[in-house]
Amino acid sequence: MNKIFFSACGIFLVLSGCGKVNAPNIPQAAASETVAAVTIDYTFSSGNMGSYSISDSIAYKNLLSIWLDNDIRSSDGAIYVLERYGKDNLMRINGPVIAESTVVYEKNVGASVDIQDIAVISSSRAYVTQLYSAQIAVVDPQTGVKTGASIDLSAFDTYAHTDSADAYPYMSRELYYNGKVYIACQRLKAPAGGYIQAADTSKIVVVDAATDSVVKSINLVYKNPQELSICNGKLYVGGAGIWTVNDAGIEVIDLATGSNLGSVASESDFGGDISSIIVISDAKGYAVISTPTFTTELHSFNPQAKTVGAKIAGVDAPCSGHMVFDGNDLYIGDRSASNPGIVIIDPASDTKVGTTKNVGLPPNSLAYLNMN
């Protein structure tokens, strides 16, 4: 699944009912700037897609039915949908128009591997991380077909080379930057009779994209990384640790040196678990927090000053998937029972811009496309 432990956001919304989905169905038009969304209903029984045209200020709902456990990325004007646990399919859509006619392929990556993320390296190569495999799948993003190569990360399995060793490193998020791919390995473990959870020291494994070889690994301060964000040559990692325990936070790695510079904010500062992060400048980032009362909140934080802002009003149940930034505004999915959709936040004031953009089912994760 998207997370081993269902987020408080999901639990809260199942209990809250289905809310209203009342945006009009209108023909989708191509736009120069678009936010695409993968969506899931409140009962986690069906998935779909929607979009918001930044260029035209128009929201489009329920454009394409997809698998219920999903995520989304974009690269060079194409949308990549990951149909995850239970399907393990990679889908490419030649955006920004989302429709059956624009689906290029829907290809299976593996059996019961729970694909997690995709990093597009070139027109012919992309890496797909897999939670229940020690191998990174290498695929052709044009066709979705595996190239026959894979990258072995078994050296980073949980408690590798010990009597407690697991069979996987539990790969999750990944990002491609400056010739290298940075892969978060959660290194989880299920205690006897218990649920799988944070266990061994989590790592960022660095792979040279030119040679498909591991360059190094970087130990993380916090366990169970949930999201990665790169800004100005620094990799920010949001970790959740053990869910419902304030034992993790956000840390930063200098990509020029490969050095972990340590924590910039702790879960105690936020008052809950880190579900997602995005950093948009040296002094501004955002975090989605799962609270002890089974709600979710959006907070800003300052990585330089190591300070945390108050809960941001106007987004009632921020989702734990990707947030996106278009250079001006922040976009985040809101799974509110009463008003689900895409919310726009002005980073200068941390206030909501306009109304929530209804894209059909509640958003699970977002991607930004710039066709200029």
Class of residue 372 by CB neighbours under 10 A (exposed 0-12, middle 13-18, buried 19+) = exposed
| 106 — pLDDT class (breaks 50, 70, 90) | very high
> What rounded mean pLDDT belongs to the chain?
93
Let me know the angle formed at the C-alpha of 205 by 114 and 190, rounded to the nearest 5 degrees.
Answer: 50
Name 265's bridge partners: 250
Name 85's bridge partners: none
Buried b (16+ CB within 10 A) or exposed e, 224-254: bbbbbbbbeebbbbbbbbbbeebbbbbbbbe
Q: Does domain 8-370 have CATH number 2.130.10.10?
A: yes
Does position 367 have pLDDT exceeding 70, yes or no? Answer: yes
Does position 117 have pLDDT exceeding 70, yes or no? Answer: yes
Spatial CA neighbour of 239 closest among 259, 216, 219, 214: 219
Let me know the angle formed at the C-alpha of 23 by 71 and 81, rounded to the nearest 5 degrees.
Answer: 15
**Contact (Cβ atoms closer than 8 angstroms) between residue 298 and residue 286:** yes
CA 156 from centre of chain: 22
The rounded distance, in Å, linking the Cα atoms of 372 and 211 is: 31
Does position 121 have pLDDT exceeding 60, yes or no? Answer: yes
**Contact (Cβ atoms closer than 8 angstroms) between residue 188 and residue 194:** no
- Tell me the mean pLDDT in the region 279-304: 97
The rounded distance, in Å, linking the Cα atoms of 24 and 366 is: 20
**Contact (Cβ atoms closer than 8 angstroms) between residue 345 and residue 315:** yes
**Contact (Cβ atoms closer than 8 angstroms) between residue 50 and residue 34:** no
| 193 — pLDDT class (breaks 50, 70, 90) | confident
DSSP calls for 238-261: EE--STTS---EEEEEETTTTEEE
pLDDT, one tens digit per residue, over 202-229 is 999 999 999 999 999 999 999 999 999 9
The rounded distance, in Å, linking the Cα atoms of 116 and 118 is: 7
The rounded distance, in Å, linking the Cα atoms of 128 and 297 is: 30
Does position 183 have pLDDT exceeding 90, yes or no? Answer: yes
The rounded distance, in Å, linking the Cα atoms of 110 and 92 is: 16
Boundaries of every domain in the chain: 8-370
Q: Is the peptide bond before 362 cis (omega within 30 degrees of 0)?
A: no
DSSP-based three-state secondary structure for 223: coil
Does position 17 have pLDDT exceeding 60, yes or no? Answer: no
CA 55 from centre of chain: 24
How many of the other CB atoms lie within 10 Å of CB of 325? 20
Does position 249 have pLDDT exceeding 50, yes or no? Answer: yes
Total-model pTM: 0.93
Does position 299 have pLDDT exceeding 50, yes or no? Answer: yes
Task: Retrieve residue 298's tokens.
Answer: 């959006």
